[in-house]
Structure 1
Amino acid sequence: MNAQDLKNSILQLAIQGKLVQQREKEGAAKELIKMIKVEKEQLINEGKIRREKPFPKINEDEIPFDVPENWEWVRFGDLGSYKKGPFGSALTKSMFVPKGTDTVKVYEQKNAIQKSVDLGDYYITREYFESKMKGFELLPGDIIVSCAGTIGETYVMPTDFEQGIINQALMQMKLMPSVYVEYFLLYFDFILKKTARKSSKGSAIKNIPPFQELKNYVVPLPPLEEQKRIVAKIEELMPYVEKYDKAYFEVEELNKKFPEDMQKSILQYAIQGKLVEQRKEEGTAEELYQQIQEQKEKLIKEGKIKKTKNLPEITEDEILFDIPENWKWARFSEVIDVRDGTHDTPAYVSNGYPLITGKDFYNGYFELSKTQYVSENDYKEISKRSNVEVGDILFSMIGGNIGSMILIEPQNYFEMAIKNVALFKQYTPNMIMSKYLMYYLKSQVSRMKANASGGAQAFVSLTVLRSYLLPLPPLDEQKRIVEKIEELLPYTEKLVK
């Protein structure tokens, strides 16, 4: 239940007579209805409001819920008089004049919505007011209601304000003196505004229902003193609702972040050697490192890869966190062949080979709806530098998509050229190590983004990627780490759903 639901529940209890207890000494609503009728008759006799046809008797089908015995159901029209603003042609912008000593203000919808008489700068001449608009004059205590767009917003006119009238987008409500305004507005805001939105007329914008329909709505009326206690109780409870709203929002934010935070925690534990136990029989990362170096030298001698520049020794200051004794810190290019695709823009063709960029990555998958294509010759030329194979990792290096990546597996492999995308290729193809590397890269994306160069068009350079540190476990432990990650991550994905 969110805060609005809680508020609605409180208001529902209030208008059903369940929020405060009934007190016999406060009498019955019948007595209040008699007073309201007397007041209304007096205003009619004084010519302040018009006499209307009697409203139909309320039948049982109209009553939405039970109320206490000392309450009564009345019609909206029984409690006051209601007037919509002047017809469109009777008040147009061409009639507005600058504010002066002999002008009358035209109040607008924003006065009701923003609860202020100070807003607005439309005026009419006093002459036009006296001859045509006098019947739309606002008096202290009148309620103005927004009638189009943001409907049902109310504002009680204060005792001191600039003389003025309502415009076409406002309704004026004059309640009988014995009607407790705060209770009336409570009901109006909760039930009537809700109903008005459901039954509103118009298509482009919603409008308040027709007056006759509005006047016939039924209102649950308690004795006056009980109305006051209901309003006081609501005012007492609303600060708690606001606190609940803040707490609810914080919990919702935590709930939204929790799956992502849990995923990050799992990956962080994994790359620190805390997700699975270390086993002596699995050997050391140093042994794996030496095997990779031997394979790397072999590939260099065979002319399949180029010899890379010697990288600086890893210093203590570079170490990101502690790792198990049988692990080893290495730079990426010591154990992985790190390349990138073309930086040029080849000629596009309608049928050819996909030119993959980081924009074609979406949640670990290829999204090819906007992919450009290149000729076979361009594809072959680009592939000399970066031939994509199963087991490789593609990593977006530039723009807002930095850190998006895809592991190339048999099921998603196709012939492609790449542009502005890093290619992580193993010296000895091994899917287990590729998956471990992918999860490590995922754990480092935030850090890489934070340290990206280039300002608005941020990028992570190939030099940075090649020298980036990698915590290297023994291969068998990598396998167990990957299996544990893939066992746990589906649970965090369920939390998202």
Structure 2
Amino acid sequence: MTKWDSVSLGELLVESNIPSENPDPNKRITVRLNVEGVEKRPFRKETKGATKYYVRKAGQFIYGKQNLHKGAFGIIPEELDSYESTADLPAFDINKSRVLPEWLMLVLIKDKFYEKLECIASGSATKRIHPEKLFKVKIPLPSIEEQRNILTEYNKLKNCNNKINNIIDDSKKLVSRLRQSILQEAVQGKLVPQDPNDEPASILLEKIKKEKERLIKEGKIKKEKPLPPIKDDEIPYELPKGWEWVRLENISEVIMGQSPPGDTYNDKGEGVPLINGPIEFGSDDFSKTVKIKYTTKPTKMCNEGDLLICVRGSTTGRTNIAGFDACIGRGVAAIKTKIEKKYLHYFIVFYKDIILNTSRGSTFPNITIGQLSNIIVPLPPLNEQKRIVEKVDQLMALCDELEKNIEQCKKDSELLMQSVLQEAFKEK
């Protein structure tokens, strides 16, 4: 094998600057980040003549001046031939007698070489990588025959790796379904055996009712409007003996958040912590909230351990546990339950899709206090709630371990492909 040349991209690429005579907003190209390819940009209205567009051809190399180092580059596919882009997405004819387009892509992705190109970006406000800078970058260049042979072997291994990744992705989906199945078994009374010695849920309900009556009498909580009885057509399945169907308001107090005045917000720790929505939520449904903002004029409050749920916007249905007493904004509701907290949390996570289906909103869903209060909950005896939570905790921990192993397989797969690339680029 002959020694490989080190060649500047300026010797391999020629910038294409063919102006579009009749720019078409429906024929725009965009380049995705993370080396995810070139695609048609969604249609949007434009002011005619405000921006200059250039015609691009299939097989050209194209990149985003602002985001080349973030993986915004690719080869224009046949279906986007004669589509257009601005000068911020320059395109280049490739000298295919010296370099194959696939080789050029391979060089850029090897060890994420494209990330290192950030050092050639220039500009005061917004940094860009201009073609004249890119042309000075040198790449290893074997003969066309060697490029073709290396690419053939690499693509074989890449196809195998893609199959492995598909299996890994399917495994992740299976674990997600397994979690949902565990929760379904739990709330249907099929996860742990019933104990005839457990005090039935009906007695627990009566105790909760008397406690609410006492708090109303003492003026600590307001009297709620009577809830409608649960109809037969609302009941999705038959419960085990000792369980009861109840509405959420029968076993909990639902508090809808109210945002305090904006001028009372601060990040200096003055006043009480403020939870306005998912920005203060932990990473998953069972995480605890974090302190970011505070308010000196709190409105509605939650207490440490309360179940929180987003009720407005694109994150509606997302849940967390209050890690501290806090003021809650209008995008959040707090659920103060009288039963085993984690049992109810598991049920809400299982029930999330149904909650979202009942929400309102044209663009993003919103959940009202009425919708939350009227959710019907399968209520086991208190002792069984505790057994269910213990069992679900054990099974979810096993699911966590499975997901960790799957993620490790994903990382190993990526390392394998990098090793293959390293080997491919060794001169022999």
Partner Cα distance (2:94, 2:241) in 1: 78
**Structure 2 residue corresponding to 1:366, chosen from 273, 289, 310:** 289
Check if 1:491 corresponds to 2:398. Answer: yes
Relative distance call for 1:74 and 1:424 in structure 2 (3 A) is closer
Report the CA distance between 1:343 and its aligned residue: 5.5
Q: Give 1:64's aligned residue.
A: none
Partner Cα distance (2:120, 2:155) in 1: 35
Instruction: Give the aligned residue type for 1:425.
Output: K
Relative distance call for 1:486 and 1:186 in structure 2 (3 A) is same
**Structure 1 residue corresponding to 2:316, chosen from 393, 399, 402:** 402
Check if 1:438 corresponds to 2:345. Answer: yes
Relative distance call for 1:254 and 1:172 in structure 2 (3 A) is closer
**Structure 1 residue corresponding to 2:354, chosen from 444, 447, 472:** 447
List runs of 5+ in structure 2 lacking aligned partners. Answer: 22-36, 39-53, 78-90, 122-128, 405-428
**Residue by residue, what CA displacement relative to the aligned partner does 1:41-82 show, whole Å, maximum 9, x if unpaired?**
xxxxxxxxxxxxxxxxxxxxxxxxxxxxxxxx45679xxxxx
Partner Cα distance (1:394, 1:316) in 2: 29
**Residue by residue, what CA displacement relative to the aligned partner does 1:468-491 show, whole Å, maximum 9, x if unpaired?**
101000000001111111222122
Instruction: Work out whether residues 343 and 388 of structure 2, in 8 Å CA contact, stay in contact via their aligned partners in 1.
Output: yes
- Secondary structure of 1:282's match? coil
The 5-angstrom pairing of residues 7-22 of structure 1 reads none
- Secondary structure of 1:320's match? coil
In percent, how many aligned pairs have the same letter?
Answer: 26
The 5-angstrom pairing of residues 95-494 of structure 1 reads 172=95, 203-204=120-121, 214=141, 217=142, 247-248=163-164, 250-342=166-258, 345=261, 347-350=263-266, 351-359=270-278, 360-362=280-282, 363=284, 364-369=287-292, 371-375=293-297, 379=298, 382=299, 386-408=300-322, 412-414=323-325, 416-420=326-330, 421-426=332-337, 433-494=340-401
Relative distance call for 1:208 and 1:337 in structure 2 (3 A) is same
Relative distance call for 1:462 and 1:328 in structure 2 (3 A) is same
**Residue by residue, what CA displacement relative to the aligned partner does 1:68-103 show, whole Å, maximum 9, x if unpaired?**
xxxxx45679xxxxx947999xxx97xx8999xxxx
**Residue by residue, what CA displacement relative to the aligned partner does 1:12-34 show, whole Å, maximum 9, x if unpaired?**
xxxxxxxxxxxxxxxxxxxxxxx
Instruction: Work out whether residues 407 and 434 of structure 1, in 8 Å CA contact, stay in contact via their aligned partners in 2.
Output: no
Instruction: Work out whether residues 309 and 318 of structure 2, in 8 Å CA contact, stay in contact via their aligned partners in 1.
Output: yes
Instruction: Work out whether residues 61 and 101 of structure 2, in 8 Å CA contact, stay in contact via their aligned partners in 1.
Output: no
| TM-score, length of structure 2 as denominator length | 0.60
Report the CA distance between 1:298 and its aligned residue: 2.3
Partner Cα distance (1:454, 1:97) in 2: 44
Figure out how many residues of one structure are paired with residues of the other and give that number: 329
Instruction: Work out whether residues 204 and 382 of structure 2, in 8 Å CA contact, stay in contact via their aligned partners in 1.
Output: yes
List runs of 5+ in structure 1 lacking aligned partners. Answer: 1-72, 78-82, 100-112, 115-119, 123-143, 156-167, 176-183, 222-226
Report the CA distance between 1:391 and its aligned residue: 4.5
Relative distance call for 1:348 and 1:245 in structure 2 (3 A) is same
Instruction: Work out whether residues 358 and 404 of structure 1, in 8 Å CA contact, stay in contact via their aligned partners in 2.
Output: no
Instruction: Give the aligned residue type for 1:395.
Output: I
Instruction: Work out whether residues 151 and 193 of structure 1, in 8 Å CA contact, stay in contact via their aligned partners in 2.
Output: no
Q: Give 1:62's aligned residue.
A: none
Relative distance call for 1:186 and 1:313 in structure 2 (3 A) is closer
Report the CA distance between 1:332 and its aligned residue: 1.1
Report the structure, 1 or 2, having the larger helix content: 1
- Secondary structure of 2:378's match? strand
Partner Cα distance (2:271, 2:211) in 1: 35
Relative distance call for 1:152 and 1:280 in structure 2 (3 A) is closer
Q: Give 2:419's aligned residue.
A: none
Partner Cα distance (1:295, 1:75) in 2: 85
Instruction: Give the aligned residue type for 2:288.
Output: Y
- Secondary structure of 1:365's match? coil
**Residue by residue, what CA displacement relative to the aligned partner does 1:420-445 show, whole Å, maximum 9, x if unpaired?**
23222245xx6xx1221111111112
Partner Cα distance (2:20, 2:212) in 1: 85
**Residue by residue, what CA displacement relative to the aligned partner does 1:205-254 show, whole Å, maximum 9, x if unpaired?**
6559769x84xx47988xxxxx9xx99xx79x989986x67754542332
| TM-score, length of structure 1 as denominator length | 0.53
Report the CA distance between 1:452 and its aligned residue: 1.0
Instruction: Work out whether residues 361 and 406 of structure 1, in 8 Å CA contact, stay in contact via their aligned partners in 2.
Output: yes
Relative distance call for 1:203 and 1:374 in structure 2 (3 A) is same
Relative distance call for 1:196 and 1:306 in structure 2 (3 A) is closer
Report the CA distance between 1:447 and its aligned residue: 1.7
